[in-house]
Structure 1
Amino acid sequence: MASDKSPDSGTPSVGTELPDARPVAKMPARFPTWESLRWLFLFRLLIVVGLVLVFSPAVDDPLIARVDTALAWRILVVYAVLVLASGLILYARWPSRENQVYLAIFIDLVVFTLVMHAGGGVGSGLGVLLAVAVAAAALLMEGRFALLYAAFATVAVMTEQTYVLLRGEAPYAEFTQAGLLGVVFFALALLAHVLYRRVRAMEELVARRKVDIDDLSKLNAFIIQDMGIGVMVVDGERRVRLMNQSARDLTNVAGDHPGTTLKAMCPELDVWLAERVRPTAPQGGIIRVGDRDIKPTRQLLGDYRAAGVLLYLRDQQELVKEAQQIKLASLGTLTASIAHNIRNPLSAISHAGQLLAETRGLSPDDRHLLDIIRRNSGRIDEIIRSVLQLSRRNQVELQLTELVAWLETFCDEFRESHGLPETRFLLEFESPPISVEVDPRHLHQIIANLCENALLHGGQPDQPAQILVRVGRGQAAGRALVEVTDDGPGIDEASARDIFNPFFTTKASGTGLGLYIARELAETNGIRLQYERRHPRGSCFRLVFA
């Protein structure tokens, strides 16, 4: 079964497909941004406060000795109102950002020119305010407007100087200062233009790098989530920051809980880590979490404890199984060859026994011996078929299968073939329908083996076995599961550890391959087969779809 996961949960989920095309890099917002306009508004407020302090009657500044205080205060009152009004239109976000900058800079140029006039002209040094307005305009707007604003400021300064000169209130020498101010305006505009170009290029580079980093982060998340080994990242305060699906399965944790303490999530692992967090501490050891034996290893993310720890979690049963698979793989080819070579002489023995059974005048002892030959020949033939079938387990053809509908058909066939009433073989299911990807042939053999096993071992001495097949979803990860339950005496703990081993059987007539083949076929289809003893009696074999 495919787990229901959202691709947007902090960390990507297992089974989410990577996009086919590279996402287009989103360029930074065109200047000016609303954030930059807010900073411009605060800056203009500071200028208003500064000018109020400069033109305060309590200030005696010799540079602005010719100040017209009354005119300056009238200008500053109007300017303060205009600045506050710009805050309101900024809050309303009307008009557009560009138009708000145009309006603000134009007002600043006019007001600063009038303030310079009220302060005594170019000689007052207040012309530097125009330079501030030019620099702000060049940084906030596109570079081609920088020279235009510098030209406006230069014209304003020259106009002010000409006006003062015509009134006879300033010497000709201040024309030099006005000209130098104009040069400063244009130089400042050009420098701000270069700075603007570099800032834009840097913003675009950062945007492209951000897309690259996001792509790498998503790729790393996909790789980590699809790893068969459990991966968990714990910070210096023992809080879980990252956890892939395999780690959640091993620790029986449902969903993502970033920031949760390791002790609250998995106390056993927290105790293990506390003993091995030091760099010189030996690794190794096996911890028991639920019904699993887990072998954790740790990798420190730095030289100090605060740097955190990377934990790798491996299922000890899986490690043992891998070792067993290596042994069985080497025997697979040999057993298949032996099975083929045994089948021919076995057929000859079986056929000879049938011919001999047709002979007249055989004594009861002879017929008993022939019956032994027939039974054991059949048993050997069954073992050969199981071994050959097991060698072909990797030929999987996955199909989307609706479990309830498929099991209803299976249960009808099983009852009919074994002559069972419906009361002895029940099917219980939940709604809505549950669909999984599985090979129907393998699923049929798995559940048939489990039902045959329940029918054989699940009865009581005074009553036949009653079998219940249940379909539902697990509580931990919402995965589909199928349970085959009987009301028999159950399997003792000593035998429960070996029931999935090949050729293990408690019946003299059994082959010991039924449950082993069922588990091998289940794992081939990505299904986990578990056994659970029920209390006070009964056995439950559970198929958990991955």
Structure 2
Amino acid sequence: MPHTAPPAFLNPRTTTESARHELFFLNYFRLAQALVYAGLAFSPPALGWPRLGDADFARIVALAYLAFAIINAVMTRRAMPWTKLITSASLVVDIVAAVLAIGAMQDARIGIAMMLAVNLAAGALMLPLRLALFFAALATLGMLGHSLVDTQTDNIITDRQLLESGLFGLAYFAITMLCYVLSRQLRATEALAEQRSIDLANLAQVNELIIRRMKTGVLLVDDANRIHQINESAWMLLGNPTADQRDLGRVAPELSRRLYHWITSGKLDETATQLADGVPEVVPRFSRLAPNDDSHVLIFLDDTSLLSRRAEELTLSSLGRLSASIAHEIRNPLAAIRYSAQLLAESHDLGATDQRMVEIINNHCVRLNEIIENILQLSRRERSRPETLDLGRWAQDFVEEYRQGNDLGGDTLRVISNGSEPVAAVADPQQLQQVVWNLVQNALRYGRMPGEPARVMVVARHGEHGVPILEVIDRGPGIAPKVAAQIFEPFYTTHEYGTGLGLYLARQMSEANQAALEYVRVAGGGSCFRLVLTPPARGPGELSQNTAEERASSRS
């Protein structure tokens, strides 16, 4: 099931922040409330207001409540972890103090009752609904209870006091409900605003990361020809200018000239240009930052080398599909020619010259069939099905199978492994078979000194950091550095009968298995094609899987 996010108003961070502000308000309002009580209790007798039934009792209540308010205000930050508990206890003290103050200062009854409503409202912002309604009921009972025990001189309860107490109770419940609903909406709004700000910040970071990692160079230039933003690709295409170089005219004069030409004439020069020494040519494009904003311009630098590579990939893909269709059409008549040649070779009436011609036909049919197989492999690109293999044992089986299926003559093909220590690797056995078969075939064919038999080794070993490595090594003349730089390119070959697809297909299948195939020149003569494979995942108590950097370091 998909993960469901909690409601916005339950966001702990937003709730804590709101409660902190509300607790500060309640505690400082209580301090002001206590000062009012003290001012009324210590008012000069000459004023005659309010009428104090018991002046000493009123002053004790006011001073005690003032001390409580000061302690609460000072301890506000430390009380944050226990907000509900502290608020509940404080409301009980507020209600008791208000009822006692009304009893001691009868003339200030309405004002004190109204101030208590503020305490209840602030508590409703921080407490659950049931608890907030409980304190509203407690305050109402306190007001009604005071009215019941407060008698006039003739011991008759006035209806006016009861009505006022009932109305205050109704107001307490209404204010509590209203403030609770408002607190829910306030928290939901704050959480939504906070979430939107986080989303916007994340989106801005994602956009910045995307622009920074784009292969296309991107610059933001203002109307003063100063560079405000630049991504990594643009920085490289401009020749790696220093951070303080912001004037486009000095960093890239040709780009500045084209920008001015585009602004004044509206025409875009689409010819490629080189903006600095040693960097690829680019095709600049310009765009306004906004339709009505003439002060900023976005500049896009398209690397022509990337465009060339993309065109080459499209060409190879199209060529592969075309070649596959042609290969399918050639295969049927080729099979007929080969079958007829085989039947002709079995005839006893052929002379030596005719038999030689039939042999040539068979040889070229085999070669042509090999070319067709390579072309079809190029178009198929089957998905790999990796398994965990012991490279040492796999190499032994491969060499035995190769010897049984191919006549080596005087050539030698042997295996070198770590002995009893297994070399574990993850790869598709069938694709690994095709890769190594191709490498061994090339080594036996080209990896020999003139007039000498080929000596080929298949080596299974651990590289640095335990990376599994499979190598095919010969003792031939080696490959010239200029040729070695191109041997993995498609259709590149130095042999008159080669297709130039064998090593290209081998590298493609290696990469499909998350392996790296490379050529390494052997000291003293010879060639080495090294296949760096992926080790299997380790168990919980073992070391973690080697990183790509470790695998790369083993190639050196």
1:401 counterpart SS class? strand
The equivalent residue for 1:26 is: 6
The equivalent residue for 1:400 is: 387
Instruction: Deviation per CA, 1:389-433: give whole Å up to 9, x if none.
Output: 656x355562433363664445543775556364xx54579x996
The equivalent residue for 2:443 is: 454
The equivalent residue for 2:495 is: 507
Q: Is residue 426–residue 467 contact of structure 1 (8 Å, CA) maintained in 2? A: yes
Of residues 108, 112, 133, the one that matches 2:94 is 108
**1:483 Cα deviation (Å)?**
5.7
Q: Is residue 491–residue 539 contact of structure 1 (8 Å, CA) maintained in 2? A: no
Whole-angstrom CA distance in 1 between matches of 2:423 and 2:182: 60
Change (3 A) 1:298 1:156: farther
The equivalent residue for 2:332 is: 340
Q: Which amino acid in structure 1 is aligned with residue 173 of structure 2?
A: A
Of residues 25, 36, 39, the one that matches 1:43 is 25
**1:352 Cα deviation (Å)?**
1.9
Change (3 A) 1:458 1:65: farther
Instruction: Deviation per CA, 1:470-515: give whole Å up to 9, x if none.
Output: 677999xx9987665667522443574364323x432234444422
Q: In the alignment, does 2:93 pair up with 1:125?
A: no
What are the equivalent positions in structure 2 for 1:469-488 lying under 5 Å apart? 469=459, 484=472, 488=477
Q: Is residue 113–residue 160 contact of structure 1 (8 Å, CA) maintained in 2? A: yes
Instruction: Deviation per CA, 1:310-365: give whole Å up to 9, x if none.
Output: 99997964652232111321332222111211220232134324536x757x4xx6
TM-score normalised per structure 1? 0.62
Q: Is residue 113–residue 168 contact of structure 2 (8 Å, CA) maintained in 1? A: no
Indicate the larger mover: 270-279 or 319-328: 270-279
**1:73 Cα deviation (Å)?**
4.4
Q: Is residue 233–residue 308 contact of structure 1 (8 Å, CA) maintained in 2? A: no
**1:376 Cα deviation (Å)?**
3.2
The equivalent residue for 2:506 is: 518
**1:382 Cα deviation (Å)?**
3.4
Identical-pair percentage: 19
Whole-angstrom CA distance in 2 between matches of 1:63 and 1:409: 114
The equivalent residue for 1:196 is: 180
Whole-angstrom CA distance in 2 between matches of 1:421 and 1:85: 88
Whole-angstrom CA distance in 1 between matches of 2:298 and 2:160: 66
2:4 counterpart SS class? coil
Q: Is residue 413–residue 457 contact of structure 2 (8 Å, CA) maintained in 1? A: no
Indicate the larger mover: 449-458 or 118-127: 118-127
Change (3 A) 1:295 1:41: same
2:387 counterpart SS class? strand
Indicate the larger mover: 441-450 or 525-534: 525-534
What are the equivalent positions in structure 2 for 1:94-243 lying under 5 Å apart? 100-118=86-104, 121-123=107-109, 125-144=111-130, 146-160=132-146, 166=152, 179=163, 183=167, 185-187=169-171, 189-197=173-181, 199-200=183-184, 235=208, 240=209
Q: How much is the aligned-residue C-alpha RMSD, in angstroms?
A: 6.0
Q: Is residue 44–residue 83 contact of structure 1 (8 Å, CA) maintained in 2? A: no
The equivalent residue for 2:368 is: 380
2:112 counterpart SS class? coil
Q: Is residue 466–residue 486 contact of structure 1 (8 Å, CA) maintained in 2? A: yes
Change (3 A) 1:413 1:149: same
Whole-angstrom CA distance in 2 between matches of 1:92 and 1:481: 59
Whole-angstrom CA distance in 2 between matches of 1:329 and 1:535: 37
Q: Is residue 61–residue 97 contact of structure 2 (8 Å, CA) maintained in 1? A: no
Whole-angstrom CA distance in 2 between matches of 1:183 and 1:310: 72
1:125 counterpart SS class? helix
Aligned length: 471
1:126 counterpart SS class? helix
Q: Is residue 529–residue 542 contact of structure 1 (8 Å, CA) maintained in 2? A: yes
Q: Which amino acid in structure 1 is aligned with residue 367 of structure 2?
A: R
Q: Which amino acid in structure 2 is aligned with residue 490 of structure 1?
A: I
Instruction: Deviation per CA, 1:132-188: give whole Å up to 9, x if none.
Output: 1221333333435555433432343455566666479xx98xx86885575355335
**1:59 Cα deviation (Å)?**
9.3
Change (3 A) 1:187 1:409: farther
Whole-angstrom CA distance in 2 between matches of 1:432 and 1:74: 86
**1:444 Cα deviation (Å)?**
0.8
Change (3 A) 1:528 1:25: same
**1:71 Cα deviation (Å)?**
1.9
Q: In the alignment, does 2:425 pair up with 1:443?
A: no
Instruction: Deviation per CA, 1:91-116: give whole Å up to 9, x if none.
Output: 675xxx75554333222211233345
Whole-angstrom CA distance in 2 between matches of 1:297 and 1:332: 38
Q: Which amino acid in structure 2 is aligned with residue 76 of structure 1?
A: Y
**1:445 Cα deviation (Å)?**
0.7
1:331 counterpart SS class? helix
Indicate the larger mover: 183-192 or 459-468: 459-468
Instruction: Deviation per CA, 1:281-332: give whole Å up to 9, x if none.
Output: 9899899xxxxx9999999996599999999997964652232111321332
Change (3 A) 1:131 1:234: closer
The equivalent residue for 2:245 is: none
Whole-angstrom CA distance in 2 between matches of 1:188 and 1:286: 78
The equivalent residue for 1:268 is: 236
Whole-angstrom CA distance in 1 between matches of 2:163 and 2:297: 60
Change (3 A) 1:501 1:294: farther
2:412 counterpart SS class? coil
Q: Which amino acid in structure 2 is aligned with residue 342 of structure 1?
A: L
Whole-angstrom CA distance in 2 between matches of 1:233 and 1:147: 47
Q: Which amino acid in structure 1 is aligned with residue 177 of structure 2?
A: H
The equivalent residue for 1:351 is: 343
Whole-angstrom CA distance in 2 between matches of 1:472 and 1:211: 51
